[in-house]
């Protein structure tokens, strides 16, 4: 894993959410057991076993719990690039199939676009055993910093 400061901070934040040491109980319940397999600036790959307490009445992974996980892993990927996340502006999830409790899934978040203070992250959730797409999330988030300006030299 790369070692830049923003990446370290975003991974520590994500680990704190999954362990319940920061934020609200909702994140602790929905991210419990999240394992970060690989991370680099703008990209995070995680492994997750769907917990029983994140299921609906049919024993499927609850879509609200899945949305929380997509939101948090996506925000961590953006944070690793922008060093700050302020707000979600557009959040879209396509659910392709269901996952059952105790099923192992893989979550991959990639920052795919940046425009000024806006960043776009795509998060895929796939079944670990066969790679089948379960859900695809796309999220635009705003930061307080323009990542392009931070890396450009002044023309004055």
b (16+ CB within 10 A) / e for 126-153: beeeeeeebbbbbbbbbbeeebeeeeee
CB atoms < 10 A from the CB of 31, how many?
Answer: 25
State the average pLDDT over residues 77-92: 84
State the average pLDDT over residues 67-72: 94
User: For the CA atoms of the chain, what is the radius of gyration?
Assistant: 16
Q: For the domain covering 5-151, report its CATH number.
A: 3.10.129.10
In the chain, where are the structural domains located?
Answer: 5-151
Residue 11 or 74, more confident: 74
**pLDDT tier, 146 (very low <50, low <70, confident <90, very high otherwise):** low
State the average pLDDT over residues 44-65: 94
Output the pLDDT for position 14. Answer: 81
In the numeric block, the tokens 């959410």 are attached to 17
Output the pLDDT for position 137. Answer: 97
Average pLDDT, the chain: 86
Output the pLDDT for position 24. Answer: 67
Output the pLDDT for position 131. Answer: 96
Mention every residue, 6+ apart, whose C-beta is less than 8 A from residue 111. Answer: 42, 43, 77, 78, 80, 81, 119, 120, 121
Determine what percent of the chain is predicted with pLDDT higher than 90: 56
Output the pLDDT for position 22. Answer: 74
pLDDT digits (tens, 9 = 90+) for 111-142: 999 888 899 999 999 999 999 999 999 999 98
- Is 152 a residue whose pLDDT tops 50? no
**pLDDT tier, 79 (very low <50, low <70, confident <90, very high otherwise):** confident
């Amino acid at each position: 894993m790369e070692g830049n400061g923003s990446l370290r901070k975003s991974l520590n934040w994500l680990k704190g959410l999954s362990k319940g040491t920061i934020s609200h109980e909702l994140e602790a319940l929905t991210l419990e057991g999240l394992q970060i397999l690989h991370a680099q600036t703008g990209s995070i790959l995680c492994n997750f076993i769907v917990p029983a307490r994140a299921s609906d009445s049919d024993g499927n992974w609850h879509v609200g719990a899945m949305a929380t996980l997509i939101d948090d892993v996506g925000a961590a990927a953006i944070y690793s690039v922008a060093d700050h996340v302020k707000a979600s502006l557009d959040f879209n999830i396509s659910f392709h199939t269901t996952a059952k409790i105790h099923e192992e899934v893989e979550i991959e978040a990639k920052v795919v676009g940046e425009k000024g203070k806006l960043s776009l992250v795509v998060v895929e959730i796939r079944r670990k055993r066969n790679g089948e797409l379960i859900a695809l999330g796309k999220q635009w988030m705003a930061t307080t910093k323009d990542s392009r300006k931070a890396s450009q030299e002044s023309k004055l």
